[in-house]
Amino acid sequence: MRTKSTRWKCVCAYDGGKFAGWQSQANSNTLQDVIEGRLRQIFGRLVRIHGSGRTDAGVHALGQVFHFDAEWRHGPEKLLAAFRNGLPAAIQVKSVRAVGADFHARFQTSGKRYEYRIHLGDADPFTRPYCWPVYKPLNLEAMRAAAAVLQGRHDFRAFTALNGPEREDTVRDLRRLELLKRGRLVRVIAEADGFLYKMMRSLVGVLVTVGEEKLPVAQVREILSSCRRTALVQTAPPQGLFLVKVFYNKRKFRAIAERPHAATPTLGQRASNE
């Protein structure tokens, strides 16, 4: 008897410095290619995954989400074990959950949280691959004032790397933009209903320029209002950026609870956000 195909929601972490970005590319070592390669080994056929969004080469993740459809008789814990036994050490699938067929990792997101790590001065070889070492002193109070200007619902076209005429709506609600300092590490935490292409790295780049006292806070407001990208908006390097969490509206999809040793999942309680 043919087992009904199930939609699986997965949360993964990865060291982006080992890969050419998330999205599959011809002749490239991408995260999508590697994960799909493992799924081919598990299921004996091509299984496409759909991520919550693309991360660029060098960008890391603590909580990227993807989904795929496949027939699996053994429960999520054994599927998780199959991932662990076959993926490279730079990728960790943290959780696997059966969800309703209406769930989509990308189209049903309600927000994302990113973290960018800045290191004040030189960093050791174990820290350097995961931060932006900045050697000039930073005025953190000025950076926080600039962050307050940027926080809120705005048109962030000036803070995206989109080129040419673009139909995408560039208005986003930046619900949180916060700087936290501990020792020589400065963490920039951002949370929004969505992020434009290279928006987070552009926001951090401007904050650092403000911190170096090369750009007054008042001019940040002007750049934001202009909706035009200028050379004043630098893009922070990718290795300091982490996708921390993807949010979903609980009402938009149903989780499926697995009965012990059941071949086919049954409907259960709603899934919580990952």
Mind listing the pLDDT tens digit for each residue in 94-112?
999 999 999 999 999 999 9
Q: Which domains does the chain carry?
A: 6-107+249-267 (3.30.70.580), 111-245 (3.30.70.660)
Catalytic position from the list 15, 33, 56, 155: 56
Report the C-alpha gap between 76 and 234 in whole angstroms: 43
> 49-87 burial, b if ≥16 CB within 10 A, otherwise e?
bebbbebbbbbbbbbbbbbbebebeebbeebbebbeeeb
pLDDT for 261 beyond 70: no
Q: How confident is the model at residue 264 (pLDDT cuts 50, 70, 90)?
A: very low
pTM score of the predicted model: 0.88
Q: Percent of the chain, pLDDT > 70? A: 88
Mean pLDDT of all residues in 64-70: 97
Query: Measured in whole angstroms, how far is the alpha carbon of residue 169 from the centre of its chain?
Result: 19
Orientation of helix 140-150 relative to helix 199-211, angle to 10°: 140
pLDDT at 168: 76
One-letter-per-residue 3-state SS of the chain: CCCCCEEEEEEEEECHHHCCCCCCCCCCCCHHHHHHHHHHHHHCCCCCCEECCCCCCCCEEEEEEEEEEECCCCCHHHHHHHHHHHCCCCEEEEEEEEECCCCCCCCCEEEEEEEEEEEECCCCCCCHHHCEEECCCCCHHHHHHHHHHHCEEEECHHHCCCCCCCCCCCEEEEEEEEEEEECCEEEEEEEECCCCCCHHHHHHHHHHHHHCCCCCHHHHHHHHHHCCCCCCCCCCCHHHEEEEEEEECHHHCCEEECCCCCCCCEECCCCCCC
For 60, 70, 86, 201, the CA distances from 39, given in Å and listed in that order, are 21, 9, 9, 32
Distance CA 4, CA 200 (A): 40
Could you tell me the pLDDT band of residue 239, with boundaries at 50, 70 and 90?
very high
CB 272 within 8 A of CB 50: no
Q: Is 56 a catalytic residue?
A: yes
| Average pLDDT of the residues in 69-87 | 94
Position 258 confidence tier, pLDDT thresholds 50, 70, 90 = very low
List, in order, residues 6 or more apart from 186 with CB less than 8 Å away: 117, 118, 119, 120, 138, 140, 179, 180
Tokens of 225: 């209002």
Amino acid 274: pLDDT = 24
Average pLDDT, the chain: 89
Q: Are strands 241-248 and 60-70 parallel, antiparallel or unpaired?
A: parallel
pLDDT tens by residue, 15-52 = 999 999 999 988 889 999 999 999 999 999 999 999 99
Q: Is the pLDDT of residue 254 over 60?
A: no
The model's confidence at residue 61, banded by pLDDT at 50, 70 and 90, is: very high
